[in-house]
Structure 1
Amino acid sequence: MRDISMRQDITFLSDGRKLAGHLYLPDGRSADQRRPAVAVVGASSGTKEQTPAAYARRLVRLGYVALAFDHSTYGESEGTPRSDENPFAKSEDIKNAVTFLTSREEVDRSRIAALGICGGGGFVPYTAVADRRIKAVATVSGLPDLRSTLTDGFAGDWHDLMAFAQSAREAYAAGGDAQYVPFMPPGEQSEWVENGKQYYLTDRNPDPHWKNETLVWSFDKMLQFSALDIIPLLAPTPLLLIAGSRAETLPQSQAAYEKANEPKELYLVEGGTHFDFYDKPEFVEPAVEKIDSFLRTHL
C-alpha cells in the first residue's frame, strides 16, 4: 500500500522508556524542504494503529509529517505494569514525541502542531500549555475532563473505585499481580459505552493486539486530571475543537471552548457521534479537512 511506503517504524525515549511509533512522511520532499509536522495522540487505552493511524494517513497526504505512537505501557512501547492510563505520563510522552520531531531533518521545528482524539483531546492541550514548541492544537471528540467522566459515574461510584484502586496498589506492592478491569465493560452500559463497543470489540478495530483492559489504579490518576483546570493558559496558542452534533461527549468540547481564551474555535460536524470520528470516512474526512485549514492558517 502507498501509505506503508511513506511510513517509517521509529522509536524514541520518554522518561527512560522506549516508545514505538510510526512516522508518516510525505512523498516528493526535496532535500532542502522541511515540512510542518503533527504529533497525533489517540484515545484513552488506544494504540498507534487505531485513531492515530486514521488521521496520520490522511494528514501525510496533505503534506504534513505525522507521528503516531504508542504511549508508555501500551502497544509496542515499554513500561510496566501495562495499560496504565496515566494522563501525566502521557503528557510527558507527548513532550518527548515533540522532541523527536524536532530532531528530524524532514520537519520544520517552528511548525509543529498536536492533534488529540478522545482522551488525547485532553492530554494535548494540557501539554501544550507548558510545551510552547507546539504551535497549534486541534482536538476531535475531545475528552478533556477525565475527572468529571469518573465523578459522573462512567465506572460506577467513584468513591468505591478509589478504594478499589488503593487496595490494588497495596496488593501489587506486596508482590501480587497487577489488577485490571475491562476498558469496555461487559453487560448493558450507557449509549456512549455501547457505541464504543461497536468500535473496540468489532472488526472496526484495526489493531488485533489491542487489550481490553485498564490498570485499576489508573483511575485515581484519572480522577486528578482535568485539562479544563489549565486550558485558559493555552492562549495565544490557537485551539480548534471538533465534535459531532450528536456526540455523547459534546458537552466536554463545549466546556473546553468556554474556558479557553482566544484564538479558539468549536467546529461541529452534523450528525456525528463520539466514536464516528474514530474511523468512519464520512466524519473523519471533514474533520481532517477542517484541521488542514486550521493548520494552514496558524502554522
Structure 2
Amino acid sequence: MSLPQKVTFLSRNYKIAAHFYPPVAGSPDRSGAAIIIAHPWTSIKEQSPANYARVLTHAGFICLTYDAAYQGESEGEPRNLEDPYQRVEDIKCAVTYLVGHKDVNSEKIGVLGICASGGYAPFAAQTDLRIKACATSAAVCAGTMARRGLEKDSSNMDILKMQLEAAGKDRNSDVGGEKVPIVHLLPEKPEDAPADFPDAFRDLMNYYRTDRAFHPRATNTTLPRSWDIMANFDAFAHIEMISPRPLLMITGTKAATKWYSEDAIAKAKEPKELYVVDGMTHADLYDKIDDAGAKCAEFFAKSLA
C-alpha cells in the first residue's frame, strides 16, 4: 500500500485532518467506489482505520480515514471531547468531501464504522442517502454503553449519574468553577491494571496501551462533559431507515460487545447481514482483520457495483 495523501475537509467549520488512500496499482477496477472508515472512541486514523484501508485499497477501493473533530490532528476545542452528533456530522462531511473529489464516483460511496463509529456510521446512513452501503466492525452505541455498560444485561445508571454530575462540574469550570480531572479510560500501562480488571477492558488495554497499537496522539483520555452528550444518544433506534441500502455488521464470537450488533441487526430491515468471526474479541477486530477485511471487501464490491 502506498502512503496516503494528507488532505483536509471542513465539519462545522472545524478543519478535519484526513488520509486519502487511492486504490493499490493493479487492484480491481471499482469505477471510483470509495469507503469512509471512521475510528473508535479515543482512537485515531493511524490505528484500526489504516488496517482496514490497507485491505480495501488492495481490493480496489478508494479509502478516506480521518481524525474526529476535537481529536488527533483535527481541530476543535475543548480537546478530547466525544460528541456523537459531531462524530456523525464528520461522517456526512467526509461524504461531501468525496463527492467533490475528481476520482470518486459520488453514487458509489460507502462507510465503515469501527467500535463507537459502528454506531455513528449507521446513524449517519439513516438520514444521509448519499451513503449507498454501511458496514460496521465491533459496533457499539456510545449512548447505550453510557446507560448500560458493555454487558447486555447490565445497568450503568448509578455510575452514569456520577458521570453526569462530573460533566456539570466540567462545564462549570469554563466560568471559574471547580476543575474536574480528565478521564483516562484505560490504565496508562498494563502493569497498572488491577487484578480484577474486567476482561472486556483488558482486551482494549492490550491493544491501545501496548506496542501493538500505541500512538502518542491516541491519548486514552476524554472529557467528563462527553457523558452528558452521549447519555441519551441511541445509534440504532431508527436503523431500519438504512433499508433498502445494504447493512453489514461484523463481530466476533469472543467480543463482549457482540450483543450490540445482534440487537441492531434484529431491528434493521433487509438487506442486512450479521457476520461473526470465530475466535475474535472486540479489539481483535481492530488489527486481526484477515477475515473481517475480506468480508468488507466482498460486501462493498457487491453493494457498490
**Cα distance between partner residues in 1 of 2:234 and 2:16:** 25
Contact kept, 8 Å, 2:169 with 2:179, in 1: the verdict is no
Contact kept, 8 Å, 1:41 with 1:120, in 2: the verdict is yes
Contact kept, 8 Å, 1:34 with 1:105, in 2: the verdict is no
**Cα distance between partner residues in 1 of 2:70 and 2:284:** 26
Q: Does 1:239 align with 2:247?
A: yes
Letter in 2 for 1:253: S
Letter in 2 for 1:217: R
Question: Structure 1 residues 198, 294: CA separation in 2 closer, same or farther (over 3 Å shift)?
Answer: same
**Cα distance between partner residues in 1 of 2:32 and 2:164:** 45
Q: Does 1:197 align with 2:205?
A: yes
Local SS of the residue matching 2:285: helix
| Alpha-carbon distance, 1:171 to partner | 1.4
**Cα distance between partner residues in 2 of 1:117 and 1:62:** 19
Contact kept, 8 Å, 1:81 with 1:178, in 2: the verdict is no
**Cα distance between partner residues in 1 of 2:180 and 2:31:** 44
**Cα distance between partner residues in 2 of 1:255 and 1:33:** 32
Contact kept, 8 Å, 2:143 with 2:233, in 1: the verdict is yes
What stretches of structure 1 of length at least 5 have no aligned partner? none
Letter in 2 for 1:3: S
Q: Which residue of 2 aligns with 1:3?
A: 2
| Alpha-carbon distance, 1:49 to partner | 0.5
Q: Does 1:288 align with 2:293?
A: yes
Q: Which residue of 1 aligns with 2:153?
A: none
What stretches of structure 2 of length at least 5 have no aligned partner? 151-155
Q: Which residue of 2 aligns with 1:248?
A: 256
Structure 1, residues 259-291: CA drift from partner, whole Å, max 9, x if none? 1111100011111110001112xxx01111111
Contact kept, 8 Å, 1:248 with 1:273, in 2: the verdict is yes
* One of 13, 36, 40 as aligned partner of 2:37: 40
Local SS of the residue matching 1:116: strand
Local SS of the residue matching 1:296: helix
Q: Which residue of 1 aligns with 2:279?
A: 271
| Alpha-carbon distance, 1:147 to partner | 2.6
Q: Which residue of 1 aligns with 2:160?
A: 158
Q: Which residue of 2 aligns with 1:85?
A: 82
Contact kept, 8 Å, 1:49 with 1:206, in 2: the verdict is no
Q: How many aligned positions are there?
A: 290
- TM-score, normalized by length of structure 2? 0.90
Structure 1, residues 150-201: CA drift from partner, whole Å, max 9, x if none? 2235677111111111111111233776741102146433211111100111
Question: Structure 1 residues 18, 135: CA separation in 2 closer, same or farther (over 3 Å shift)?
Answer: same
Q: Does 1:210 align with 2:218?
A: yes
Deviates more, 1:178-187 or 1:65-74: 178-187
Q: Which residue of 2 aligns with 1:125?
A: 122
Letter in 1 for 2:285: F
Letter in 2 for 1:287: A
| Alpha-carbon distance, 1:206 to partner | 4.8
Letter in 1 for 2:281: T
Local SS of the residue matching 2:215: coil
Deviates more, 1:67-76 or 1:199-208: 199-208
**Cα distance between partner residues in 1 of 2:168 and 2:232:** 14
Q: Which residue of 2 aligns with 1:148?
A: 144
Letter in 1 for 2:105: D
Letter in 1 for 2:7: I
Local SS of the residue matching 2:269: coil
**Cα distance between partner residues in 2 of 1:104 and 1:65:** 11
Structure 1, residues 46-66: CA drift from partner, whole Å, max 9, x if none? 101011111112111111000
Contact kept, 8 Å, 2:55 with 2:293, in 1: the verdict is yes
Local SS of the residue matching 2:273: strand
Local SS of the residue matching 1:98: helix
* One of 21, 35, 55 as aligned partner of 1:58: 55
